[in-house]
Structure 1
Amino acid sequence: MVPMSVEEIAKAVDGRLVAGDGPAIEATETVTDSRQAGSGAVFVAIKGERVDGHGFVDKVADQGAAAAIVDHEVACTTMPQIVVEDTVAALGLLAKHNIDRRRQLPGAFDLIGLTGSVGKTTTKDLLSALLSTLGPTVAPIGSFNNEIGLPLTALRVNADTRFFVAEMGANHIGEIARLTRIAPPNTVIVLRVGVAHLGEFGSRERIAQAKSEIVQGLLPGGTAVLNADDDYVVPMAQFASGDVLWFGQGHTRDSEVHADHIAADAADHAEFTMTDAHGEQVAVHLGIPGRHNVMNALAAATVALRYGMPLTAIAQTLAAQHTISPHRMALSTVSRQGASFELIDDSFNANPDSMKAGLDGLRAWNANDGRQPFRVALLGAMLELGADERELHASVGEYAAGLGLDAIITVGSPSDAHLNVLAESLAEGATRGRAASVDCVQTIDEAERIVFDLAKNHTDTVVLLKGSHASGLSALAERWA
């Protein structure tokens, strides 16, 4: 963060300053985890479901923190406290102040906000890699895209930051609008409107309404980068106050960049020709797997071009990105208990769109070199899909069966009946689609046993892990790491 006095912070968050007996310390970072609150840190005490940060105020004082932001005064005499009504809201106010401070300092600074039902974190990772070649870039770790994660990332912006890439997610109407007030963007990306969080919003139209808030939150004259291939995204151009840049796989609009001749190698790394608005072309071979990442790469490339990065340099940087945030199409080889197989770990989260994309990646594995691996889909539940969740799960199971996969394993939970129902719906759909082999289990231990048995009997096995975080499949990925 831009260095600030405690008095400046108190004013920014509209708080009441309770001075401590210790020496005044300039604040240089903001944290919500007491273990990270070292010298010069502002500790924001947040009440969570299990832990109340106010219980750690004494600890952070002993660690040399500059101040604590609290919703009630805590018995602590050595460190200043800033008392506010709502510490999460105060975190947002402090983040907004930090961004405003950076914009007042010399040197160019641009904030790029991005949203979409699928692909946000991958696009954020690719865009961060591209922009980092142009100047110091701040981007969230993992999927920090909510009312706590985004402000914490915004508070990493300092006087030297050239770009801030802000991922913005939403479960409700108004959430993205609130995030754009904290971090008003110069440029925004809208990737796709899918059915993630359909249970919360009720319809894709309402999801589109929520995503459009990022375009409406642009600074005056800001740039909107929109998916020309998504009929729910295209109408968002009406909300842009400045330029609209399109990206896509077709030629339906005057795209800033578009992709042609899309193919993939044996490990499902996309290969395509990228063409810019001037007709310049370059061959691209993505370093991360997943043909669906073509659109994410085009979105990131559009922004990089906007900020002056040459097309050839974009292609080179995209090819060099082999790892992104954890549990997103991560490739590895698992060898244990007499079994060996290739793992595609896409277990961070799931919705019907991303689940199908992951399954497509599994089907495409080694498809171009004549090999026929034994393909296993290990699937967990998808959450927040609303009243049609069982049929949506069944349709994904049926889709998986239609790809001709060799085995489909669905995983529920030993303690959550809801997760079991959804896993059973996945399995029912796969059975309805006449899948070759279908198993439905309640624990990752049972799933692991089946996978190992299959791998022992098939020397060329590849396994996809895909499910919402609550399904626990990421824990299985970590066990196999």
Structure 2
Amino acid sequence: MEKAERPVLMPMTLKQVAQAVHGRITPAAAKGGLDLPIANVTTDSRQVGPGSLFVAIAGERVDGHRFLGQAAEQGAIGALVSEEQADADLPQVVVEDTVQALGQLAASNVERRRALDAPFTLVAITGSVGKTTTKDLLAAMLAKLGPTVAPVGSFNNEIGLPLTALRVGPDTRYLVAEMGASQVGDIAYLTSIAPPDIAVVLKVGVAHLGVFGSVERIAQAKSELVRGLRPHGLAVLNADDERVAAMAQLAPGRVLRFGLGGAERPDDPGLDMTARDITTDDLDRPSFQLEARGERPVAASLALSGEHNVMNALAAACVAHELGLPLEDISASLSAQGRRSPHRMAVSQVEEDGARFTLIDDSFNANPDSMSAGLRALASWKEPTGGQDGAAQAEPYRVAVLGGMLELGEGTMDLHRQVGALCVSLGLDALVAVGGERGQLTDMAGAMVEGARRASAAQGSKHAGMRLFQAPDTGQADRFVRDLASGHPGCVVLLKGSHMSGLDALAERWQSGRFGEQQ
């Protein structure tokens, strides 16, 4: 996080803020301060520092308007509010909707940066899975070419995206932004704030299927990123996803394609970035030959676990290469760049009450596509046996600790049964399904266990050894895992579930007592 006293946006005063958002300045502002420079913009009163502009948002649980006094004490230069707070000794810009005004302010900041006589490129990324990993990989690559702004975590909605865009300053060369959607129109709104020069579309999956109603509607929502490109903007598309590939016809300019390839069609334009000869090591970290169209391939390895991350790496590599980074430098970045955003396939060693295990923390969120990818990564995990040549590998004891997947619509329970069945078919040793405190999450956990039982019965004795547990909460899940790890040296545990399942908090609890360095 940028320090509050360091300017991180285009030079702007409170008077200019009011002009950008069409707001009314309160009389308190007449005391002075209208022309003082704003250092940064935040919606979190705990992050206010000298020179900050505090944006008060009335949320479901907390109303930011209650914290104007605290913001003033911590040095805020002013506040953006939807209701004037007469008792707050702080200049205020009053608007009808502070979230909308935040977007207007961010759009103004981007426009002011574009107006400078210096190159600036805005790259936006969307997709049902992989946005944050791709953003982190690309940001690390572009940092080799010039000052780069990118969020830590998934700041990809109507609040997070503007806050990221407001970190763009006069020296920023690249902005790498995530754009997410929970309904049609969300990404169109985000591109109105930060129109991209380059749009990257990763995958059309079934995340939020219950909200969208169909995969076709999800594809429509993701396509808004391509439609939102600036004139002659570049679309970078996953050629292996037919719905993403079809977005090429919407592009206002050139199209680049990345993927692993498959059956070629007569009209297939080929791939601009691909990977060949993919292998994985004992920690499921991929190595491959990275190949750009018309160039000799270079050897590349990922510091990240999970073969599915090859596609994310290809997307990032395609953009970075187009912007001038040689393949050799891209390869070096991929091998060095570990997890920047938390709870995404982060690997650590955990010790608790005498139980030791390897933790694969992918607990940030979950949908059927990312759940399948995480489980396959767990199934591919190997443990070194300590042989002299380092090549010997042993099968670890693999435990999947899974929470429910939300917003999947009428097929929710069937999709959870499929997850349980997948655990069986992959040969995992134990499934701990966590129900959480809400009834729906409990039903989802039960469906996973049911699916695993059915699959075990159907596939016979070969798969009958998988142990099944249903935990009502993360505390019970913790006890199940500690018991399993105590009895099985070399245990590997995957944490995966929607945020409401609370598995990220369990990961933080375990990791507070971890030893060794993160992989």
Q: TM-score, normalised by structure 2?
A: 0.91
Q: Indicate conservation of the 8 Å contact 2:68/2:88, yes or no.
A: no
What is residue 419 of structure 2 aligned with on the other side?
Answer: 396
Give the superposition deviation at 1:279: 3.0
Q: After the TM superposition, list the runs of 4 or more consecutive aligned residues in structure 1 that deviate by more than 4 angstroms.
A: none
Give the superposition deviation at 1:58: 2.4
Give the superposition deviation at 1:432: 1.1
Post-superposition CA distance 1:176-205 (Å, at most 9, x none): 000000000000100000000000001111
What is residue 283 of structure 2 aligned with on the other side?
Answer: 267
Give the superposition deviation at 1:62: 2.9
Q: Return the letter of the residue paired with 2:371.
A: M
Correspondence for 2:24 among 12, 16, 37: 16
Give the superposition deviation at 1:16: 1.1
Post-superposition CA distance 1:330-386 (Å, at most 9, x none): 111111211111111111100011001000000100188441111111111010100
Task: Return the alpha-carbon distance in structure 1 between the equivalents of residues 70 and 475 of structure 2.
Answer: 39
Q: Return the letter of the residue paired with 1:346.
A: D
Tell me whether 1:420 sits opposite 2:442 in the alignment. Answer: yes
Correspondence for 1:142 among 153, 164, 174: 153
Correspondence for 1:186 among 189, 197, 209: 197
SS in 2 for 1:289: coil
SS in 1 for 2:304: strand
Give the superposition deviation at 1:249: 0.4
Q: Indicate conservation of the 8 Å contact 2:69/2:88, yes or no.
A: no
Q: Return the letter of the residue paired with 2:347.
A: L
Matches within 5 A, 1:11-410: 11-19=19-27, 20-24=29-33, 25-76=36-87, 78-250=89-261, 252=264, 253-366=269-382, 369-410=392-433
Q: Indicate conservation of the 8 Å contact 2:240/2:260, yes or no.
A: yes
Q: Return the letter of the residue paired with 2:12.
A: M
Task: Return the alpha-carbon distance in structure 2 between the equivalents of residues 369 and 265 of structure 1.
Answer: 11
Q: Indicate conservation of the 8 Å contact 1:21/1:77, yes or no.
A: no
What is residue 5 of structure 2 aligned with on the other side?
Answer: none
Task: Return the alpha-carbon distance in structure 2 between the equivalents of residues 336 and 27 of structure 1.
Answer: 46
Task: Return the alpha-carbon distance in structure 1 between the equivalents of residues 368 and 447 of structure 2.
Answer: 13
Q: Indicate conservation of the 8 Å contact 1:114/1:189, yes or no.
A: yes
Task: Return the alpha-carbon distance in structure 1 between the equivalents of residues 122 and 252 of structure 2.
Answer: 16
Q: Return the letter of the residue paired with 1:345.
A: D
Q: Indicate conservation of the 8 Å contact 1:21/1:79, yes or no.
A: no
Give the superposition deviation at 1:34: 1.4
SS in 2 for 1:378: strand
Task: Return the alpha-carbon distance in structure 1 between the equivalents of residues 376 and 206 of structure 2.
Answer: 18
Give the superposition deviation at 1:76: 4.4
Q: TM-score, normalised by structure 1?
A: 0.98
Correspondence for 1:4 among 5, 12, 16: 12
Task: Return the alpha-carbon distance in structure 1 between the equivalents of residues 379 and 260 of structure 2.
Answer: 21
SS in 2 for 1:331: strand
Select between 428-437 and 84-93 the one with higher mean Cα deviation. Answer: 428-437
Select between 290-299 and 5-14 the one with higher mean Cα deviation. Answer: 5-14
Q: Return the letter of the residue paired with 1:104.
A: A
Select between 447-456 and 463-472 the one with higher mean Cα deviation. Answer: 447-456
Q: Return the letter of the residue paired with 2:399.
A: V
Select between 58-67 and 176-185 the one with higher mean Cα deviation. Answer: 58-67
What is residue 473 of structure 1 aligned with on the other side?
Answer: 503
Shift of the 202–155 alpha-carbon distance from structure 1 to 2, 3 Å rule, reads same
Give the superposition deviation at 1:455: 1.2
Task: Return the alpha-carbon distance in structure 2 between the equivalents of residues 356 and 77 of structure 1.
Answer: 51
Shift of the 433–369 alpha-carbon distance from structure 1 to 2, 3 Å rule, reads farther
Alignment gaps of 5+ in structure 2:
1-8, 384-390, 457-462, 512-519
Task: Return the alpha-carbon distance in structure 2 between the equivalents of residues 291 and 29 of structure 1.
Answer: 39
Give the superposition deviation at 1:77: 6.7
Task: Return the alpha-carbon distance in structure 2 between the equivalents of residues 39 and 22 of structure 1.
Answer: 17
Task: Return the alpha-carbon distance in structure 1 between the equivalents of residues 257 and 491 of structure 2.
Answer: 40
Give the superposition deviation at 1:72: 1.8
Q: Indicate conservation of the 8 Å contact 2:238/2:258, yes or no.
A: yes
Q: Indicate conservation of the 8 Å contact 1:409/1:439, yes or no.
A: yes
Q: Please, what is the CA RMSD of the aligned residues? A: 1.3
Give the superposition deviation at 1:396: 1.1
Q: Indicate conservation of the 8 Å contact 2:282/2:393, yes or no.
A: no
What is residue 388 of structure 2 aligned with on the other side?
Answer: none
SS in 1 for 2:303: strand
Q: Indicate conservation of the 8 Å contact 2:152/2:340, yes or no.
A: no
Post-superposition CA distance 1:199-226 (Å, at most 9, x none): 0001111000000000000000000000
SS in 2 for 1:453: helix
Percent identity of equivalent pairs: 55
Shift of the 59–454 alpha-carbon distance from structure 1 to 2, 3 Å rule, reads closer
Give the superposition deviation at 1:445: 1.6
Q: Return the letter of the residue paired with 2:433.
A: T
Task: Return the alpha-carbon distance in structure 2 between the equivalents of residues 78 and 199 of structure 1.
Answer: 46
Q: Return the letter of the residue paired with 1:358.
A: G
Task: Return the alpha-carbon distance in structure 2 between the equivalents of residues 297 and 357 of structure 1.
Answer: 15
